[in-house]
Structure 1
Amino acid sequence: MAADAVFRRRRAIRPYRIDVPQAGIDDLSRRLAETHWPAALGDDGWDCGVPVSYLRELAGWRPARIFATSC
């Protein structure tokens, strides 16, 4: 097989499936809901790291959505 074909085969998008137990998703949801968020620093921009508002938005996603994608 030519090197080009090997490279394309390795880089090809292949479907996969993950199986996350519902108990794990429930636990993650509970821990995210109980998170104690720090106060924002100044204008809550990216100068001092990831803005708290951005992290809160990410945590607000239902974890089940991440795992609900089917291939």
Structure 2
Amino acid sequence: MLEGSDEVTSPGGAYTPLPTTPIIGAGRYALTTKIAEGGMAGVYRAWDAKLQVWRAVKVLLPEYTRRSNL
């Protein structure tokens, strides 16, 4: 990806715009959409700002964290 670009091309070549409003801003990752949820965690599609790639990030449900405000 070119520096300053605001678009991403997936491995298949389809255009994917960068997220404009993340669900959660966790520093390096911008979580955009929930992919799935299980008994202990949710999985989100996330933009990795450091590596400039899409990732999947698992986030524990509040009842499984020591502090429920995470």
Bigger Rg, structure 1 or 2: 1
Q: Same fold (TM over 0.5)?
A: no
Structure with more of its chain in strand, by fraction: 2
TM-score under structure 2 normalisation?
0.26
The TM-score, its normalising length taken from structure 1, stands at 0.26
